[in-house]
Amino acid sequence: MSEAIIKMAKLETGITGFDLVAKGGLPKGRTTLVTGTAGSGKTVFASQFLAEGIRKAGEAGVFVTFEETPKDIRKNVASLGWDIEGWEAEDQWTFVDASPQTQAETVVVGAYDLGALLARLEHAVHRTNAKRVAMDSLGAIFSRFDDDAKIRMELLRISAALKEMGVTSVMTAERNREYGNITRYGIEEFVADNVIILRNVLDNEKRRRTVEILKFRGTDHQKGEYPFTILPEDGFIVVPLSAIQLKQKSSNVRVTSGNEVLDKMCGGGFFRDSVILVSGATGTGKTLLVTQFIAGGAQNGERSLLFAFEESREQLFRNAQGWGVDFQKWEKEGKLKVVCEYPEVRGLEDQLLKMKEIIQEFKPNRVAVDSLSALERVATIRGFREFVISLTSFIKHGEVMGLFTNTTPTLVGGTSVTEAHISTLTDSIILLRYVEMYGEMQRGLTVLKMRGSQHDKDIRSFSIDGNGMHIGKPFRNVAGILAGQPTQVTPDEISRLSGMFQEPRSM
Amino acid sequence: MAKYHFKLYIVGQTLRSQNAIANIQYICRHQLDGDYNLAIIDILEQPQIAEENKILATPTLVKEQPPPMRRVIGDLSESKKVLIGLGLKPKQVQASTHHNSHQTETDGEENGGIEHE
């Protein structure tokens, strides 16, 4: 097995993230079938395969188009910022136009083959010394000729000729359903040892694009579906989530959370590269914690980045002012950047890429997301989980400290989907809870988890005033706060319970 | 100048190419009074012309004159179908009165291919 893997060389496609999923790229000198439903991104994949070859590897490419005219393709990819016409002038990109001709009716009389197409393709490859070939999309040619078996045979012949020429090629083909037959005309059985499936699934009213490598004969690849997106400037981008390795270093350096008492509860502050989740119902003080987190950083000369998905800029700045924190000043000094947006503005995959881009640009020491659960609205459960994994690992990779907030759906106690998905991914969890006592709402805070460190296990009450958060004494005589049903316990009961665990003196 | 202008695209001198050439020549001689001009283009030698005219399948016969332009794909083994495909009328009446022997020959060709040349 390992021998076969070494023998089969891969060609780096240059498509962002894809080579990671494909463990190096497409099998070199072979044909790979890319299949998907209408609008799944096949043409973009095929044309980007050529474009990246030209841009990154200096390899010429030939594009055989069966469906759209070269004119349409040039126009369509112009939005991706590629100058196909310029490449054509330099013989880097060559079209073989096999699109339907409207002016000439065609009648079939007697035996024929696709020798003309093959001869044109071979000519184009040899003339420009092309290394990559894209054929898009095979379904269109089946609808033009009536003999499916014949066309399959001809495609097999073309595929064999491509192998002979030593070019790496991508063929695209339509499929009818997202989960079902691989292609409409059974092309995969004939043409390709390698099959990639692009999906564009509607799930809970949300579109989710994924790429899956179904098979690479004789060589290794990542399994399963990986989300991807198509962006105006960058084109096809695969978001390789599970492919990300857990190799970040971990730091023992502690930094302040922005609140002295909370630092003490955490055993001396947060770790410099940890990710902290703050969970609580609306109004429990999550945004305040975020504000203090940023303030703590700014006072130590650190740079902070805040992604706010729930409140406007004005609201945030005003709130901060109310707690004696001046965001405006820090933003002027370049210590702070606030990005406010509605989560609905873009899909989650695009959101992730945008956030990564901003993080890379601003290079903060601290990143806060308020709130993560707002993003849950625009994604499927799986998509959201992948988003959190990817963002978390990206933040950790850059040795940046992250603080995410999560809004719980119920006022007292309770967990949320977000929590269930991301609690294992974060290093520390801080819970903020309402506690009803004697007909009065109080707030409670506890450090639930602190990876790699001792921490205070108490649930402490805290109050909020013009100077921010004041963490007070632990709740005594109360049980069931986290369960959302606080009940008073008499002192007798407490001493009786603790007595149960005392070793008898006489023994 | 000839009345009919044809281009026949082939790939190499295969049996199929030769059949197509023989068939179109036969049709031209017997159905179009020999008033034709036939250019044979081997795509292996002149790929650029095939590229410009976007030829996919071979053999492909293109009628360039008189308009409208028509294309027929295949080895052209059935005269009647070829003529219809080209938008031309088969010489039914004449064939039955004056060229009876040819008509039978054409029928034979439809079943068995192009042995006549």
- Closest-CA distance, A167 to chain B, in angstroms, reads 20
- Closest-CA distance, B54 to chain A, in angstroms, reads 6
Residue B107 has pLDDT above 50, yes or no: no
Output the six-digit token pair for A181.
């037959």
- Asked if B74 and A111 come within 8 Å (Cβ–Cβ), the reply is yes
DSSP assignments along A470-482, one per residue: EEEEEP-SEE-TT
- Closest-CA distance, B92 to chain A, in angstroms, reads 19
Residue A8 class from Cβ within 10 Å (0-12 exposed, 13-18 middle, 19+ buried)? middle
Q: What average pLDDT does this structure show over B31-46? A: 90
A110 to chain B, any CB pair closer than 8 A? The answer is: yes
- pLDDT on residue B61: 93
- pLDDT on residue B97: 37
Domain A10-243 has CATH 3.30.70.100: no
- pLDDT on residue A493: 67
Q: Which residues of B47-84 are buried (b: 16+ CB within 10 A; e: fewer)?
A: beebbebbbbbbbbbbbeeeeebbbbbbbbbbbebbbb
B47 prior amide bond cis, ω within 30 = no
Tokens 């410099």 found at? A272
Tell me the C-alpha distance between A240 and A228, whole Å: 8
Which chain B residues are within 8 Å of A112, Cβ to Cβ? 16, 57-60, 73-75
Mean pLDDT in order along chain A per 10 residues (507 residues)? 59 89 90 88 92 92 93 88 91 92 75 92 94 90 83 89 93 82 69 85 78 86 85 80 56 86 89 87 88 90 92 90 90 91 84 88 92 83 81 81 86 62 79 81 85 83 87 81 72 68 56
User: What residue spans in chain A does CATH classification 3.40.50.300 cover?
Assistant: 10-243, 254-496
Which chain A residues are within 8 Å of B49, Cβ to Cβ? none
Output the six-digit token pair for A337.
């950047």
- pLDDT on residue A339: 92
- pLDDT on residue A167: 94
Residue of chain A whose Cα is closest to the Cα of B56 = A117
Identity of residue A205: E
- pLDDT on residue A171: 92
Q: Tell me: the pLDDT tens digits for A8-61?
A: 789 999 888 898 888 889 999 999 999 988 888 899 999 999 999 999 999 999
Residue of chain B whose Cα is closest to the Cα of A117 = B56
Which chain B residues are within 8 Å of A96, Cβ to Cβ? 51
- pLDDT on residue A507: 45
- pLDDT on residue B87: 84
- pLDDT on residue A54: 93
- Asked if B75 and A112 come within 8 Å (Cβ–Cβ), the reply is yes
- Asked if A116 and B60 come within 8 Å (Cβ–Cβ), the reply is yes
Contact A188, A33 (CB under 8 A): yes
Which chain A residues are within 8 Å of B20, Cβ to Cβ? 110
Tell me the C-alpha distance between B38 and B29, whole Å: 11
Alpha helices in A363-446 (DSSP H): 372-376, 381-397, 417-422
Which chain A residues are within 8 Å of B9, Cβ to Cβ? 116
For A487, the enclosing helix (H) or strand (E) is strand A487-488
- Asked if A107 and B85 come within 8 Å (Cβ–Cβ), the reply is yes
Output the six-digit token pair for A282.
């609306």
Q: Please give the ipTM for the structure prediction.
A: 0.78
Q: Could you count the other beta carbons within 10 Å of the beta carbon of residue A89? A: 10
Percentage of chain A surpassing pLDDT 90? 28
CATH of domain A254-496: 3.40.50.300
Residue of chain B whose Cα is closest to the Cα of A106 = B71
- Asked if A145 and B57 come within 8 Å (Cβ–Cβ), the reply is yes
* Of A31, A479, A463, A450, nearest in space to A254 by CA: A450
- Closest-CA distance, A162 to chain B, in angstroms, reads 16
Q: How confident is the model at residue B40 (pLDDT cuts 50, 70, 90)?
A: very high
DSSP assignments along A219-246, one per residue: S----SEEEEEEETTTEEEE--STTS--
The shortest CB-CB distance from B72 to any of A98, A101, A109 is to A109
The shortest CB-CB distance from B56 to any of A103, A105, A114 is to A114
Residue of chain A whose Cα is closest to the Cα of B85 = A107
- Asked if A109 and B50 come within 8 Å (Cβ–Cβ), the reply is no
- pLDDT on residue A46: 94
- pLDDT on residue A345: 82
Q: Could you count the other beta carbons within 10 Å of the beta carbon of residue A4? A: 11
Q: How many CB pairs under 8 A join A and B?
A: 100
The shortest CB-CB distance from B47 to any of A108, A114, A119 is to A119
Chain B residues contacting A via beta carbons under 8 Å: 9, 11-12, 16, 19-20, 23, 43-44, 47-48, 50-51, 54-60, 62, 69-78, 81-82, 84-85
- pLDDT on residue B112: 40
Which 72-101 residues of chain A touch chain B by CB within 8 A? 96-99, 101
- Closest-CA distance, B15 to chain A, in angstroms, reads 11
- pLDDT on residue A388: 85
Q: Which of A65, A71, A109, A118 to mutate to test the interface with B (most CBs of B within 10 A)?
A: A109
- pLDDT on residue A252: 79
Tokens 């005594």 found at? A476
Q: Which of B41, B56, B71, B81 to mutate to test the interface with A (most CBs of A within 10 A)?
A: B56
- pLDDT on residue A190: 66
Residue B49 has pLDDT above 50, yes or no: yes
The shortest CB-CB distance from A112 to any of B54, B57, B70 is to B57
* Of A310, A320, A309, A274, nearest in space to A426 by CA: A274
Residue with the larger pLDDT of the pair A73 and B97: A73
- Asked if B50 and A119 come within 8 Å (Cβ–Cβ), the reply is yes
A137 prior amide bond cis, ω within 30 = yes
Label residue B115 left, alpha or beta by phi (over 0 means left) and psi (-120 to 50 means alpha): alpha
Q: What average pLDDT does this structure show over B59-83? A: 89
Residue B100 has pLDDT above 90, yes or no: no
